[in-house]
Amino acid sequence: MSKIRPSQGAPYARILGVGGYRPVRVVPNEVILETIDSSDEWIRSRSGIATRHWASADETVAAMSIEASGKAIADSGISADQIGAVIVSTVSHFKQTPAVATEIADKLGTGKAAAFDISAGCAGFGYGLTLAKGMIVEGSAKYVLVIGVERLSDLTDLQDRATAFLFGDGAGAVVVGPSDEPAIGPTIWGSEGDKSETIKQTVPWTEYDSSGKFPAITQEGQAVFRWAVFEMAKVAQQALDAAGISPDDLDVFIPHQANMRIIDSMVKTLKLPDHVTVARDVETTGNTSAASIPLAMERLLATGQAKSGDTALVIGFGAGLVYAATVVTLP
């Protein structure tokens, strides 16, 4: 018989607060057109993007995360020193070690919170949310801060006509804490490594010196589009099934803000009712990878398009290829 004491965690977990930060500089398509042969109409029809935010030198991954996290903590009604763990999902923090989460945890005043980074691309927020839920139910932390943050402008090839217009910068954060009722459903997540070449960094950091060109993100657009629309709609439906709800029960749909055409196609494939509010933050924020879902969530709540207690389906998908989908109750 085991001598280990059973876990003393909460029965369930929920999102208690959300916050976002978008860099001050707004970049319209006209700026992108200075380096690629295209048009505003082409960019909008292909992606739905009109503007994006690009960070200044002072708007670092850590600085943006701290701004977003401060708002999320205030929104949750707890204090920073109550946070037991900080999880940061990012692919654009260029220092391999230490994790940027440790700097963020310290500057927020969390005390000695566990802190670590994860790399799960555009599915990173869903991965972090799932880890946070597990910590709270298991009992290793009462409150967990989950951050998605990117400075993708640093990894954008402005001469690449296929991707130059896609990416933006920003940070989104949520505080996850205990709940007396289910408020974060089972996560449907996974990876398809055989498709890893469809979205990738052009060269490894070890080859940067010899290549003479700073690494950037590249992707096979049509392959990604087909995968996202058809395969991720199936994953989204699995998340609904796992939560025991139907599309009619949904109030809000918050997919990764990759591309407006992908979002609209997923809505059609899932046959979402007209009453479901759909996040389309990509139009003014661009693709911010791990930050896109919490940023979109924050904007929907701030503008009144969604409200506290709404039932939302969230799904992230991207480089790896990786994905994560779950149903949550909005804070």
Query: What are the residue numbers of the active site?
Result: 122, 256, 287
| Number of helical (H) and strand (E) elements in the chain, helices listed first | 11, 14
Pull the structure tokens for residue 165. Answer: 């217009």
Alpha carbons 260 and 296: distance in angstroms, whole number: 13
Distant-in-sequence, close-in-space partners of 203: CB < 8 Å, separation ≥ 6: 211, 213, 215
CB proximity list for 147: less than 8 A, separation 6 or greater: 65, 68, 69, 86, 87, 88, 89, 90, 101, 104, 128, 171, 172, 173, 294
Cα distance between residue 253 and residue 264, in whole Å? 11
DSSP state of 82: G
- Whether the CB-CB separation of 190 and 230 falls below 8 Å is answered with no
C-alpha 327/C-alpha 233 separation (Å) is 14
Q: Which two tokens stand for residue 153?
A: 């402008």
Q: Rg of the Cα trace of the chain?
A: 19
| Cα–Cα dist 301/275, whole Å | 16
**The two three-digit tokens of residue 140, written as one number:** 């290793």
- Relative to beta strand 51-54, strand 114-118 is unpaired
Cβ neighbors of 287 (< 8 A, separation 6 or more) are 49, 122, 152, 166, 167, 168, 257, 258, 259
Count Cβ atoms below 10 Å from residue 315 Cβ, excluding itself.
27
